[in-house]
């Protein structure tokens, strides 16, 4: 019978203004009064608040009038965040390149460039730099660490 307001009902999702996030976001309708949403829950910040109509605000600080900002800056930011330091790739390369036997790491052992190290915490790694006088820079799967060792063997 009633078809005009069929789209809005309790439990349905709609885009309206979030008073906490200060922008238009998807909300779940919690209660209806007179065919209009009364209380809504923001799907982003999970706060329940009174229904506010859309303001056309897409980002905090942006104004509804004259704002032609698109999603482009956000996409760029996300792409940058995903581009993490490829330590793992470098680690894999060096581990494959080295044909030294795997040695247990110990601070009183001495290690050489290219030595393969097994560390109780960091796992397998490769010595990629000797730091004078008694430190070695080792590339592990997740991180590059500078660890102490006995130093270069004296001849
Ligand atoms: Zn919110």
pLDDT digits (tens, 9 = 90+) for 129-142: 999 899 999 999 99
CA of 6 to the centre of ligand 1 (A): 25
Question: Do residues 44 and 96 share a domain?
Answer: no
Average pLDDT, stretch 26-31? 96
Give dist(CA 132, CA 31) in Å, integer: 69
Question: Is residue 23 one of the residues assigned to a domain?
Answer: yes
Residues with CB under 5 A from ligand 1 (ion): 18, 20-21, 42, 44-45
Does residue 2 lie within any of the structural domains? no
The strand pair at 116-119 and 13-18 is best described as unpaired
- Global pTM exceeds 0.75: no
Place of tokens 């956000």: 74
Q: Please report the pLDDT score of residue 10 as a whole number.
A: 95
Give the Å distance between the CA of 39 and the centre of ligand 1.
13
Pairwise pLDDT comparison (56 vs 153), residue with the higher score: 56
Q: How many residues does the chain have?
A: 155
d(CA 81, CA 79): 5
Residues 95 and 49 in one domain: no
**pLDDT at 26 (0 to 100):** 96
Strand order in the sheet with 135-140: 102-104, 116-119, 123-131, 135-140, 144-148
Q: Is the predicted pLDDT of residue 1 greater than 70, yes or no?
A: no
What residues contact residue 58 under an 8 Å CB cut-off, 6+ apart? 23, 24, 67, 69
Q: Are 96 and 142 members of one domain? A: yes
What is the average pLDDT value for the chain, to the nearest integer?
83
> How far is ligand 1, taken at its centre, from the CA of residue 44, in Å?
5
Cα-based distances in Å from 77 to 8, 21, 26: 35, 19, 22
Q: How far is the CA of 17 from the centre of ligand 1 (A)?
A: 8
Which CATH number characterizes residue 51's domain?
2.30.30
Same domain, 103 and 142: yes
**Separation of 66 CA from ligand 1 center, angstroms?**
23
Ligand 1 centroid–CA 154 distance in Å is 65
- Which DSSP symbol is given to 38? E
User: What tens digit of pLDDT does each residue of 72-128 get?
Assistant: 555 555 555 555 557 899 999 999 999 999 999 999 999 999 999 999 999 999 999
Asked, for residue 50, whether it belongs to a domain, the answer is yes
What range does the domain containing 141 cover?
87-148
- Give domain status of residue 122, yes or no: yes
3 state SS of 73:
helix
What pLDDT, on the 0 to 100 scale, is given for residue 79? 53
Least confidently predicted of 9-23, 34-48, 65-79? 65-79
Q: How many domains does the structure of the chain reveal?
A: 2
């Amino acid at each position: 019978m009633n078809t005009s307001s069929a789209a809005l009902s309790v439990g349905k999702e709609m885009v309206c203004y979030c008073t906490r996030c200060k922008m238009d976001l998807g909300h779940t309708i919690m209660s209806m009064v007179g065919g209009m949403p009364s209380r809504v829950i923001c799907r982003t910040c999970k706060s329940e608040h009174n229904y506010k109509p859309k303001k056309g605000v897409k980002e905090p600080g942006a104004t509804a009038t004259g704002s032609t900002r698109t999603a482009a800056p956000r996409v760029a930011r996300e792409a940058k965040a995903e581009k993490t330091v490829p330590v793992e790739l470098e680690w894999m390369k060096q581990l494959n390149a080295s044909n030294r036997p795997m040695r247990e790491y110990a601070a009183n052992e001495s290690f050489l460039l290219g030595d393969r190290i097994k560390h109780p915490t960091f796992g397998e790694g490769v010595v990629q730099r000797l730091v004078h006088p008694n430190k070695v820079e080792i590339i592990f799967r997740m991180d590059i660490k500078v660890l102490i060792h006995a130093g270069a063997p004296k001849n």
